Amino acid sequence: MDLKLEGLRVLVTAASQGLGLACARTLIAEGAQVIVSSSNVERARAAAAEIGAVDGIACDLTDAQEIDAAIAGAVQKLGGLDALIVNAGPPPARTFIDSDEAVWDSAIDLVLRSAVRLMRTAIPHLTASGRGRIVTITGYGIREPQSGLVASEATRAGVAIAAKALASDLGPSGVTVNNIAPGPVLTDRLVTLQQRIADRDGRSLAEQLELNASTVPVRRNGLPEDVGDLCAFLCSPRAGFITGQTIVIDGGFNRAV
C-alpha cells in the first residue's frame, strides 16, 4: 500500500531514540521530510544522520521558548509543516506515595504541558498545509494504569484527553488528531523496568523478557517499528477518516475494552 507520504513535512519530538526515532525512521522510509528533536543537540544530529532526516535540532520540552523555536525552525527548514509527532521521554517510575511535588511538577512540564505547547504552536501551520496531522505517543497505561508509573500515566492521559478535544476543533480544517498508546514495546524504558523485576526475582533479563512476552496474546514483545508503522499510517491520507482516537498497540496485552 502506498501511504502517499512523499514530501510530507514532519517534526518528531524526543526522537533521538526509542519510539520517536522509530516513527521518524518509518516516515522517512515512506518519503517524508523529517526533522527530529532531542534535548541534546548532539544526539539529535546523530539520529538525523543515522536515518536520513533533514536535520536534528535541540528542543528542551520543558522550555516554552525552545518549543516555539523548534516549531519555527522546522517550518523554516521544511517550508511549512504538515505533521507533528508529539513524543516525550518518560517521567520517573514511582508509586503515588513515592512521588513528591517535584516529580509531579517535572512530569506535568515534560509530558502534558509540552504537548499542549507543541500542538498549540503548530496549529496555524498544520491548518494551512491542507494535509495536517497530529499524532501523540502516550501509553497503554492511560487505559489500565500501573501504580509504579503513576506520574507518567496520569500526564499522558491528560495528553490523550487534550488531543481528543482538539480533534473536534480541528476537524473542519481537515487536520486529524490521534493518540498512539503502546503496550510492552522493547524500548530502553521497558528493558529497565523488566531488569528491575528480573533482579528482584532472581532471573536473567533474557528470561524476564521471555516471561513478559508469554503474557502477551501474540506471544512477543512489541518492537519500536510496530509503533512507527502505525504512526506513518495515521499521518497518511489513508487515515483521513480517523480522528480523535486513542489506538492501543500492545499485541492484545491490555484487557480494557
Report pLDDT for 102. Answer: 96
Report pLDDT for 255. Answer: 80
- Name the least confident of 114-118, 170-174, 187-191, 252-256: 252-256
Nearest to 2 by CA among 233, 226, 231: 233
pLDDT in tens, 44-61: 999 999 999 999 999 999
Report pLDDT for 147. Answer: 87
Report pLDDT for 257. Answer: 75
- Name the least confident of 97-101, 162-166, 187-191, 230-234: 187-191
Using only the alpha carbons of the chain, give its radius of gyration. Answer: 18
Query: Please, are residues 222 and 249 in contact by the beta-carbon 8 Å criterion?
Result: yes
pLDDT in tens, 169-179: 999 999 999 99
pLDDT in tens, 83-140: 999 999 999 999 999 999 999 999 999 999 999 999 999 999 999 999 999 999 999 9
DSSP string over 22-62:
HHHHHHHHTT-EEEEEESSHHHHHHHHHHHT-SEEEE--TT
Does pLDDT of 256 surpass 80? Answer: no
pLDDT in tens, 59-97: 999 999 999 999 999 999 999 999 999 999 999 999 999
DSSP 8-state symbol, 113: I
Report pLDDT for 181. Answer: 97
- pTM of this structure: 0.95
Looking at the domain that runs over 9-185+223-249, which CATH code has it been given?
Answer: 3.40.50.720
Q: Locate 178 and state its grid cell.
A: 490521534
Query: Please, are residues 37 and 57 in contact by the beta-carbon 8 Å criterion?
Result: yes
CATH 3.40.50.720 boundaries in the chain: 9-185+223-249
